[in-house]
Chain A
Amino acid sequence: MRTKEKIIKVPFIGDLIYSSGHTIVGILLGIFTGGLLIAISGVNPFLAYASMFRGAFNSLQSFSNVLVRSSPLLLGGIGVAIGIKSGVWNTGIEGYMYIGAIGATIVAIPELGLPPIIHILLCFIVAMLFAGLWGAIPGYLRAYKGVNEVTATIMLSYVAIYFTNWIVSGSPLAQEGAYFPMSLPFAKSSLLSILMKGTSLHPGPFIGLLMCIIFHIILKYTPFGFRTRMLGHNPFAAQYAGINSKKQIVITMVIGAMLGGLGGAIEVLGLKHRLYMEFVTGVGYESVAVALVAGGEPIGVMLSALFFSILKVGGATMSIETGVSSSMASIIIALCVLFVIGVGVADSKRLKKRDEKDPGKKTLSFKMEEAVK
């Protein structure tokens, strides 16, 4: 056996295939390790995964559940991804969703006598406004005061969670005498319509997918996107090129927050029809996972959000059918991300290293080792 290096010249798509190669390997490793854990807990992993798959694709209804579940992940994921592109970790998605949902709740409860479209849009706008203002706090602190945005956003998420708890239990918006803390019911005109009879499919996931496409275009084809990417790649050069990097950081964090707030509003308007405590628990972490597996690319967010919601929805079915706790889905998600970054980072560094050391190479090329007898 000897290895022969073969150079495949792939002018543009090469990098993409190479990096998505890592992602796929990482995800497979994550699923494999998850299977091991399922096996340890005494369940046949193949049966468990089969039931997971059934849970996600068995019927139109189950697939619509996948789509519904993907809605907050899509919007949260793209919110985090925008941050990654500009070099900040906007990890407060969960908080933005709560604050956005509170904003939506305030205008959704009263009967305003508006046509549904207008009422819903009003809810969305107020939600985004609330969340945007909330996101401006860590954005401002990061840009102008140098406060680490990861700590600030996570702390503020906890503040938002407790604030929501108060809204649904102690504020005038709370339903009195409820068996579980919740807000008053929303007005009919504010609710998102169900797209398919017998399912809970609302337009949320499609709004999420649309946002992914819009932000793909914004990042790639507008001066704003150019600035954002420049800031993320090299903040020094961005400053030198005359970009107000502080303002840019605040703007991207506010945009991420607004997307999160929209996600929260869609959850309550489309699915819950009231505001509850902890209605999106864990989505904050999952959004980071989505954005990361997507490599910060909006188009990738579409795929990874769908993938994770398949795990989540399938996980519930798996739990019922096989007795493996549905939290196994979270474990698999975390494992996938850890493997994706664990496999990916060092290798992409190596690729970069070679690029640096190899100024003679004039095309984007990569080497594949081909075993030859």
Chain B
Amino acid sequence: MNENSILLKMQDISKSFPGVLANDHVTIECEKGHVLGLLGENGAGKTTLMNILYGLYQPDQGKIFVDGKQVVINSPSEAINHGIGMVHQHFKLVDTLSVIENVILGIPTNKAVLDFGPAKKKLEKLCKEYELFVDPEEIVWRLPVGKQQWVEILKALYRDCKVLVLDEPTAVLTPSESDQLCRAIRKITEQGRSVVFISHKLREVIEITDKVTVIRDGKVIGTVNTKEATQSILAEMMVGRPVTIERKARPIIKEHSAVLVMKNVNAFDDRGVQALKDFNLTVHAGEIVGVAGVDGNGQRELSECIAGLRKPSSGSITIQDKQVTNVIADPSFVGFIPEDRQKTGLVLDFTVAENLLIKDYKEKPYVKNGFLQYSEIKKHAEHMIKKYNIKSPSGDIKVKTLSGGNQQKVVIARELDAQPVLDVASHPTRGLDLGAVSNVHDILLNERNRGAAVLFISAELQEVIALSDRIIVLYSGQIMGELDGETADQFTIGQMMLGQTTEAKK
């Protein structure tokens, strides 16, 4: 703390993309041995700023100083040479190579022939030093995500970085792994390195950082010493208004017949690893069942099995006593909001009107005598745009030109308008801004109130608690526990997400 030298300074950085000012005169500073938190909502411009630092984008304006010297960074290799290491939100590891191969990839040497001996020794020393243990010989795709994160960090440390940037590092970690990461970060800073910690999770930012810079809409809102900050102050800076996700009030639904019944379901993921193990679940009409858990514990396979996109290896899934065997393309039966709307939920090159009908395109009145009726399709689109408040001037524009929130509205309008008996919403708020998030929450709650059975999958604990009548916690393909939405608390759920069963059931 005594040393007050600034290790990294990005001054007055601006970067615009056509139509969007991603960074607007942003200045950040990070002292030697400090952790700087970079806080902001999705799309606030954090990642753009870091991509500029890493040489992936060129700023329109502004300067970068490392160790007091002005530098120009044109490529990742130059960034590495200036001592900048980065762990991206989406890992930049080559899955099919081993850990050690990934670590030495791109390090310039004059030896043409590979020799892993010294590299392995150095890596093992680093593993011990930071208590981030990985087997150098293991192929990366076989590692759990948490371990892959370690590989990314070790990769940067191996290159002897002065500044380590961590972009949303805890999104994929279990709480105990998060603690491990905190310890490693402290050791890193003790050696006089600096860490830039990007997150939109307030609690972690307060726990780990020394200073926090808050970014909103591409502008720096302010920088505060973490000691003087509280969650609510930061949250207010982040969104421009005070915010808390409160549990939503709801009427009690009388009718309670079982809609979705899953019995002893086993399923495998794309790699052939068992993703659901003897899974049993019942969702009733008029309730929201929240599925909590760290990403990649079977949520995806669960939703895909229900939607008929993935065949379970054994067990039975019924919806209103009908066996699920194939893809359900009947929106009046099941509404399915897939986790990746751009990849599976929408055809980006189709118009809004066409996207609203990708399941119903062959039904009357959209088809007459074997031909599509564009006037009907258009009418339907205009009706939906109004009803679901989709910000689109007409149905004739391509859906890829809409913002993420409005794209999601298109998916929701298509999936839920026919009033299905079962809604499966898989990470429906991911990547949306707060306004859009609350909109989605309201819609799902209305669905429940009208009597639909709702399965709500999310990795954000707060929203699961706020929205669910009942919460199940998924851990490596099994239900670790079930809690009542009214009484559930984050701590208990967090424990269960780690795979620890507690007594605190119900």
- Residues on A facing B (Cβ under 8 Å): 12, 220-223, 225-227, 229-230, 233-234, 236-243, 352, 354-364
In the complex with contacts A233-B349, A234-B347, A240-B344, A223-B361 CB distance below 8 A: yes
List the A side residues contacting B392 at CB < 8 Å: 362
The answer to whether B371 touches A222 (Cβ under 8 A) is yes
Known contacts A355-B401, A359-B402, then 7 further A-B pairs from the complex at CB < 8 Å, ordered by chain A residue: A230-B350, A233-B350, A234-B344, A242-B326, A242-B328, A355-B398, A355-B400
Roughly how many angstroms separate A184 CA and B17 CA in the complex, as a whole number?
A: 68
The answer to whether B344 touches A361 (Cβ under 8 A) is no
| Contact pick for B401, options A222, A225, A240, A359, CB 8 Å | A359
List the B side residues contacting A225 at CB < 8 Å: 372
- Residues on B facing A (Cβ under 8 Å): 17-20, 307, 309, 326-330, 336, 338, 343-350, 354, 358-359, 361-362, 367, 370-372, 374, 392-393, 396-398, 400-403
List the A side residues contacting B362 at CB < 8 Å: 223, 226
Roughly how many angstroms separate A358 CA and B372 CA in the complex, as a whole number?
A: 31
| Contact pick for B397, options A238, A241, A363, CB 8 Å | A363
| Nearest Cβ on chain B to A367's Cβ, whole angstroms | 9
| Contact pick for B354, options A12, A221, A226, A364, CB 8 Å | A226
| Nearest Cβ on chain B to A149's Cβ, whole angstroms | 22
What 7 A-B pairs are tightest by C-beta distance, nearest first?
A242-B329, A358-B19, A223-B362, A241-B358, A357-B17, A359-B403, A234-B347
Roughly how many angstroms separate A361 CA and B343 CA in the complex, as a whole number?
A: 22
The answer to whether A241 touches B20 (Cβ under 8 A) is no
| Nearest Cβ on chain B to A361's Cβ, whole angstroms | 6
| Contact pick for A233, options B329, B336, B348, B396, CB 8 Å | B348
| Nearest Cβ on chain A to B402's Cβ, whole angstroms | 6
The answer to whether B358 touches A361 (Cβ under 8 A) is no
Which secondary structure dominates where chain B touches chain A?
A: loop
In the assembled complex, 10 residue pairs joining A and B whose CB atoms fall closer than 8 Å, in A order, are A222-B370, A222-B371, A237-B358, A239-B344, A240-B345, A242-B328, A357-B20, A358-B18, A358-B20, A359-B401
| Nearest Cβ on chain A to B114's Cβ, whole angstroms | 31
List the A side residues contacting B374 at CB < 8 Å: 221
| Smallest Cβ-Cβ distance to B20: which chain A residue | A357
| Contact pick for B19, options A238, A242, A354, CB 8 Å | A354
Interface centre among A223, A238, A360 (most CB of B within 10 A): A223
| Smallest Cβ-Cβ distance to A357: which chain B residue | B17
The answer to whether B344 touches A237 (Cβ under 8 A) is yes
The answer to whether A237 touches B346 (Cβ under 8 A) is yes
The answer to whether B372 touches A221 (Cβ under 8 A) is yes
| Smallest Cβ-Cβ distance to B393: which chain A residue | A362
List the A side residues contacting B343 at CB < 8 Å: 234, 236-237
| Nearest Cβ on chain A to B366's Cβ, whole angstroms | 8
Roughly how many angstroms separate A356 CA and B346 CA in the complex, as a whole number?
A: 14
| Smallest Cβ-Cβ distance to A359: which chain B residue | B403
The answer to whether A362 touches B401 (Cβ under 8 A) is yes
Interface centre among B18, B328, B374 (most CB of A within 10 A): B18
Interface centre among B326, B372, B392 (most CB of A within 10 A): B372
| Nearest Cβ on chain A to B334's Cβ, whole angstroms | 11
| Smallest Cβ-Cβ distance to B330: which chain A residue | A242
The answer to whether B338 touches A234 (Cβ under 8 A) is no
Interface centre among B328, B330, B338, B344 (most CB of A within 10 A): B344
| Smallest Cβ-Cβ distance to A223: which chain B residue | B362
| Contact pick for A360, options B19, B349, B400, CB 8 Å | B19
The answer to whether A234 touches B372 (Cβ under 8 A) is no
List the A side residues contacting B17 at CB < 8 Å: 357-358
List the A side residues contacting B359 at CB < 8 Å: 241-242
Roughly how many angstroms separate A358 CA and B354 CA in the complex, as a whole number?
A: 21
List the A side residues contacting B328 at CB < 8 Å: 242
List the B side residues contacting A220 at CB < 8 Å: 372
Roughly how many angstroms separate A233 CA and B349 CA in the complex, as a whole number?
A: 7
| Contact pick for B327, options A12, A242, A355, A358, CB 8 Å | A242
| Smallest Cβ-Cβ distance to B304: which chain A residue | A240
| Contact pick for B338, options A226, A238, A240, A359, CB 8 Å | A240
List the B side residues contacting A243 at CB < 8 Å: 329
The answer to whether A230 touches B347 (Cβ under 8 A) is yes
| Nearest Cβ on chain B to A8's Cβ, whole angstroms | 16
The answer to whether B19 touches A361 (Cβ under 8 A) is yes
List the B side residues contacting A236 at CB < 8 Å: 343-344
